[in-house]
Amino acid sequence: MHIPAWWPDVLRDCFDLDTRDTRTLQRNADALLRLSDHLNDVEGRRSRHTRSYLSEKDMLRAYLLYYTTANMLKPHVPFGEIAFPGFFRHRSSLRVLDLGCGPGAGLLGCHDFFEKRYPHIYIEYHGVDASQPALSVLSRIGESLRSRGARLEVRSHRADIAGFSSLSGGADVILMMNALNEISCRTSLLLQRLTALLGDGGRVVIVEPALRVTSRALLEFRDQAVREGWTVFSPCFRQAECPALNHAQDWCHTDVPWERPDFMATLDRLLGHVKLSLKFSYLVLSRDGCRLQDALDLPGPLRVVSEYVEEKGRSWCYMCGAEGRFRCRRNTRDASATNAAFDGLYRYAVAGMQDGEWRGAELLVGRQTVIHHVKV
Ligand SMILES: C[S@@+](CC[C@H](N)C(=O)[O-])C[C@H]1O[C@@H](n2cnc3c(N)ncnc32)[C@H](O)[C@@H]1O
């Protein structure tokens, strides 16, 4: 994945952030360091109930430059899965509600995704946030995209997510990116709000940082959503409780390669970060019972939920499916034409398997085992 070619132009033209100018990047590094400490201190933020960081001009600009650049590509993954059964194919317009939109990663992600994959779709985008400065940036980005010919309109709503209700007709897609960990309202109340705001047949997409604490909170949210009648569309192929919650050290996230822009590499050096790939946790929920697996031609679909590890004499990964999470291993001497697809697996790949052999708690890929890898 790569950022859209027009993004550096928007940063320069609208916010005087020239990503080719090292001094501009250096000037933003201090604020970025403070911002990064703040965002990573999830527990501290929760106990202090702070969410005003985007009201500080320097922090907002630093967020826009670094976090918005990285976050805008994350919706592409869940959107791609929603698209798989044809959800977007016959639509001429789409109403997107972005809760906790901040300065606009969701808007940018929607525009980039639909411009590339479904350019005929007109986007009616609604951004909700408590921060007026962030909403002002969002509106400015919306104007800039429209002036570049984008087929979208942007409406911003200054409101608390837990109290927002003014969207008659409901949304086709509700997006909530990196906001769940900032919301203090009870999960059941948030689920009620989502039910009220989602249109018939709509999808809810939640993206969270791949930190253990935020990822596990998303998994707990997932389990409660299922208990309250929601269906997990993806990434899980299991509706029962999430097995990652059984062990306090486990969590679940994807890891997507990206072409890190040069200015992000410079900022990473200044910060001591290494954002070589995009790691994040996500969840897609439906109310109509729809699941990604219903569109896959796989008997018992599995999701790779760990690194794919290659060692001398064997390779292995953890997989998760309807029966839960287990380790899956293939000894190199058992590589065959029927299990060749095992080689191409990676974190969050979707696979199917026939005729594996259980060895205790581990599933062994033998010479006869058939592996399918479906690219979603
Ligand atoms: C980390 S930022 C995420 C911004 C954007 N979605 C992204 O992924 O880059 C979290 C946003 O949620 C907003 N937020 C947090 N709690 C909120 C609440 N209860 N009501 C409205 N907005 C809230 C903050 O103001 C902030 O803009």
Mean pLDDT for all residues in the chain: 95
Ligand 1 pocket, residue 67 CB under 6 Å: yes
> How many Å lie between the centroid of ligand 1 and the Cα of residue 39?
11
DSSP letter at 331? Answer: E
- Provide the pLDDT for residue 41: 79
Residue 99 C-alpha to ligand 1 middle, in angstroms?
7
Q: What is the pLDDT of residues 315-351, one digit of tens each?
A: 999 999 999 999 999 999 999 999 999 998 999 999 9
280 SS3 class? strand
Tokens representing 204 are 């809810």
Cα pseudo-dihedral 162, 165, 166, 172, rounded to 10: 100
Amino acid, res. 308: Y
Say if residues 232 and 226 touch (Cβ distance below 8 Å).
Answer: yes
Instruction: Answer yes or no: are the C-beta atoms of 185 and 161 closer than 8 Å.
Output: yes
User: Is there an atom of ligand 1 within 6 Å of 160 CB?
Assistant: yes
Task: Count CB neighbours of 360 within 10 A.
Answer: 8
Ligand 1 atom 15, closest CA: 182
In Å, what is the CA distance from 48 to each residue of 31, 53, 322?
Answer: 20, 12, 39
pLDDT at 47: 59
Tell me the torsion sign for CA atoms 19, 68, 130, 137.
positive
DSSP of 39-81: HH-HHHHHHHT--GGGGSHHHHHHIIIIIIHHHTTTTHHHHHH
- Give tens-digit pLDDT for 46-84: 655 455 788 889 999 999 999 999 999 999 999 999 999
Q: How far, CA to CA in Å, does 267 sit from each of 24, 65, 183, 362?
A: 10, 9, 28, 42
Residue 126 forms beta bridges with which residues? 97, 155
Q: Tokens representing 316?
A: 């292995």
Q: Is the CB of 208 under 6 A from ligand 1?
A: no
Write the CA distances from 371 to 301, 350, 351, 367, integer angstroms: 11, 11, 7, 11
Q: Which of 125-134, 270-279, 282-291 has the lowest mean pLDDT?
A: 270-279
- The pTM for the full model equals 0.96
The response to whether residue 182 sits with its C-beta less than 6 Å from ligand 1 reads: yes
Residue 252 corresponds to which tokens in the numbers above? 């679940």
Pairing relation of β-strands 324-331 and 302-304? unpaired
> In terms of Cα–Cα distance, which of 95, 101, 197 is closest to 158?
101
pLDDT of 361 over the 70 cut: yes
